[in-house]
Amino acid sequence: MPKMEIEREGNKKLDKPERKEDKSVLGHEGQKNIMKVENLSKTYYQGKIPVHALRCACITVRKGELLAIMGPSGSGKSTLLALIGTLEKATDGKVILDGTDLTTVPEKLLPSVRREKIGFIFQHYNLIPTLSALENVELSMRFSRIPKKEREERATALLEELGLGDRLSHKPSELSGGEQQRVSIARALANKPAVILADEPTGEVDSKTRDSIIRVFKELSEKGQTILVVTHDPEVAKECSRLLRITDGVIKDD
């Protein structure tokens, strides 16, 4: 299994300037709690009928936690990730991530905050089919101020660490499901996000690939990367450091 050396201290080449924390929002808590979800709610309307997809969720997540989120279909798991990821607007409540209250960030600044602080991993990988593995990862850094050469170096290093050093120029259609998912993990890591949000990342892969993805998540978590994983798979959940259960939009912390 690839060693995850990428985030190790002293690897100066890959480091980016230290993230500034807004201590006024999180205070001392900011040191150990990377994220706080406070009374987060989402109500969709189907015609005039309200659908309470998430009800008053409160979660505190410590830096480096690998958090599993389980619940029946339609219970609100993807809604929770979409709200944390600022892909949907909350009906009520707050998401404070890495010192920033995401629910008060003006619409036009959301894409840059999202790019800087959040890494997404999806069930269907969502890679760009016409780009190589390397280009898919490098693309996610294109809006940062990192020069192209460094972006390519970092993308290459990430892919190598994920065991894809000999697949850099392969297009997604030339990669297996597990390889595509590892490219998407590299892409999610590219901008050193405060949190990775993974929605059923092992939903499409065989059990061997699933196990290798869990191992990558665990290694990243041990190095301080915070990861939230929505899963239907008890084998994934049992490897996580904590489990949240969600039923009808209500969260229970195990």
Ligand X SMILES: Nc1ncnc2c1ncn2[C@@H]1O[C@H](COP(=O)(O)OP(=O)(O)OP(=O)(O)O)[C@@H](O)[C@H]1O
State the Cα–Cα distance between residues 192 and 19, nearest whole angstrom.
10
Nearer to ligand X, 79 or 226 (CB): 79
Nearer to ligand X, 51 or 128 (CB): 51
Half-sphere exposure of 232 (CA within 13 A, CB side): 12
State the Cα–Cα distance between residues 103 and 243, nearest whole angstrom.
24
**Mutual angle of helices 177-189 and 148-161, in 10-degree steps:** 130
Nearer to ligand X, 71 or 119 (CB): 71
> Minimum distance from CB of 70 to ligand X (Å)?
9
Report yes or no: 62 and 241 within 8 Å, Cβ to Cβ: no
Does position 202 interact with Mg ion (CB under 5 A)? The reply is no
Tokens, residue 75:
């219970």
Q: Of 29-37, 57-65, 76-84, 170-178, which part binds Mg ion (CB under 5 A)?
A: 76-84
Nearer to ligand X, 53 or 118 (CB): 53
Tokens, residue 60:
């505190």
User: Choosing among ligand X, Mg ion, none, which partner's interface includes residue 181 (Cβ < 5 to 8 Å by kind)?
Assistant: none
- Applying CB under 6 A, the residues found at the interface with ligand X are 44, 46, 51, 53, 71, 73-79
User: Choosing among Mg ion, ligand X, none, which partner's interface includes residue 44 (Cβ < 5 to 8 Å by kind)?
Assistant: ligand X
Does position 231 interact with Mg ion (CB under 5 A)? The reply is no
- Using CB under 5 A, which of 78, 136, 180, 221 touches Mg ion? 78
User: Choosing among ligand X, Mg ion, none, which partner's interface includes residue 143 (Cβ < 5 to 8 Å by kind)?
Assistant: none
Q: Of 22-30, 73-81, 101-109, 151-159, which part binds Mg ion (CB under 5 A)?
A: 73-81
Task: Report how many residues bind Mg ion under the rule CB under 5 A.
Answer: 1
State the Cα–Cα distance between residues 116 and 195, nearest whole angstrom.
10
Pick from 92, 97, 125, 121: nearest CA to 110: 97
Nearer to ligand X, 75 or 191 (CB): 75
> Minimum distance from CB of 80 to Mg ion (Å)?
9
User: Choosing among ligand X, Mg ion, none, which partner's interface includes residue 74 (Cβ < 5 to 8 Å by kind)?
Assistant: ligand X
Q: ∠ CA(81), CA(33), CA(248), 5° rounding?
A: 35
Tokens, residue 139:
């693309």
Pick from 30, 68, 49: nearest CA to 245: 68
User: Choosing among ligand X, Mg ion, none, which partner's interface includes residue 73 (Cβ < 5 to 8 Å by kind)?
Assistant: ligand X
Nearer to Mg ion, 78 or 180 (CB): 78
Alpha carbon dihedral 137, 200, 193, 170, in 10-degree steps, equals -10
Distances (CA, A) of 71 to 20, 43, 68, 232, 243: 35, 18, 10, 7, 10
By the criterion CB under 5 A, which residues form the site for Mg ion?
78
